[in-house]
Amino acid sequence: MSTSPTAPVAFLKGHGTENDFVIVPDPDNAIDLPARAAAALCDRRAGIGGDGLLHVVRSAAHPEARAMAGEAEWFMDYRNADGSIAEMCGNGVRVFARYLQRAGHVTAGDLAVATRGGVKRVHLAKSADHAVTGSEDGDITVRMGRAVLPDDGVTVAVGGREWPARNVNMGNPHAVAFVDDLAHAGDLFSGPPVSPASVYPDGVNVEFVVDRGPRHVAMRVHERGSGETRSCGTGACAVAVAAARRDGTDPAVTGAPVTYTVDLPGGRLVITEHPDGEIDMTGPAVIVAEGYLDPAWFETAFATRPEARSNG
């Protein structure tokens, strides 16, 4: 049975292109964070508020990450806003890396982060004024791995309209639909119907995409477990992959890397896919606040919120 902490719990708040997260540092995996506690922390009215939660744990201390401890010291135990567990979050990895830098665990350069979607390679760039101010606000690049494109015919529907969608898996599932106007996505607080439902038994992130120019697109996204968010890193990667296939610029076919600029409501990400299939995502990550959580609040949160179902 879950028990709440008896001492104040440190937290931080950060965002990557306005995809925002509550960060709970817990190197030894000593803090019990069941789904109800994660959801309470992400509640925008009664908690800190965020699109998700980044539980920062040393890989060797977490049963799901111990096998990766030889490659990556730190494990990103990621939760959706409803408290459910997710495999990966691209913007979350950048914010996770920024926290490690801020806390002095890493410096600018390369590092590895363990996730449920595997070990992710990260590069923290020095900002232009780093030598003068010590600033730690340079862009962060994450090697996101390779996309898997199951050959499933998928349809997305909103407000009586339907669009064919590309099924793209970035360690988590996506349905990418190209539309004429982002307003066609309607109200994305509830998930748009995707058919056949059997393709995504654990739910799906849905991206609506319009063209802005050559290799330049804009998108809106509904994230499973969170609703519409200001940004989604894995979603931006899925969109770039789908656009490359649509445009005939698949790097595996052309033999040359392809880069797409992806505009999201919260900012801009640059996605590069290489001929070997590896995908790089580059963008900002910002820590905006830090403080302590009242253990009495935690006890109330544990007692009043139901557990969320894990959606994998």
Token pair in block for residue 171: 């360690």
Of residues 81, 100, 232, 250, the one with CA closest to residue 170: 232
Cα separation, 271 vs 234, in Å, equals: 10
Using CA atoms, how far residue 163 sits from 154, 195, 236, in Å, is 9, 11, 19
169 is in an annotated binding site: no
**Contact between 52 and 92 (Cβ < 8 Å):** yes
Token pair in block for residue 198: 């059997």
As beta bridge partners, residue 222 has: 206, 228
For 235, phi and psi rounded to 5 degrees?
-65, -40
Alpha carbon 298 to its chain's center: 25
Cα separation, 176 vs 163, in Å, equals: 9
Catalytic site residue from 81, 232, 237, 258? 232
Cα separation, 89 vs 94, in Å, equals: 9
266 is in an annotated binding site: no
224 is in an annotated binding site: yes
234 is in an annotated binding site: yes
Known catalytic membership, residue 89? yes
90 is in an annotated binding site: yes
Cα-trace Rg, the chain: 19
167 is in an annotated binding site: no
Known catalytic membership, residue 237? no
261 is in an annotated binding site: no
The H or E element containing residue 235 is helix 233-247
Cα dihedral sign, 111-114-119-124: negative
Say which residue the tokens 């698949």 belong to: 250
Cα separation, 137 vs 143, in Å, equals: 19
138 is in an annotated binding site: no
19 is in an annotated binding site: yes
223 is in an annotated binding site: yes
Using CA atoms, how far residue 263 sits from 49, 167, 186, 205, in Å, is 24, 20, 18, 17
DSSP letter at 269 equals E
Catalytic site residue from 41, 53, 89, 142? 89
Give the amino acid at 152.
D
Residue stretches of the annotated binding site: 19, 80, 90-91, 172, 205, 223-224, 233-234
Known binding residues for substrate: 19, 80, 90-91, 172, 205, 223-224, 233-234
- The catalytic residues are 89, 232
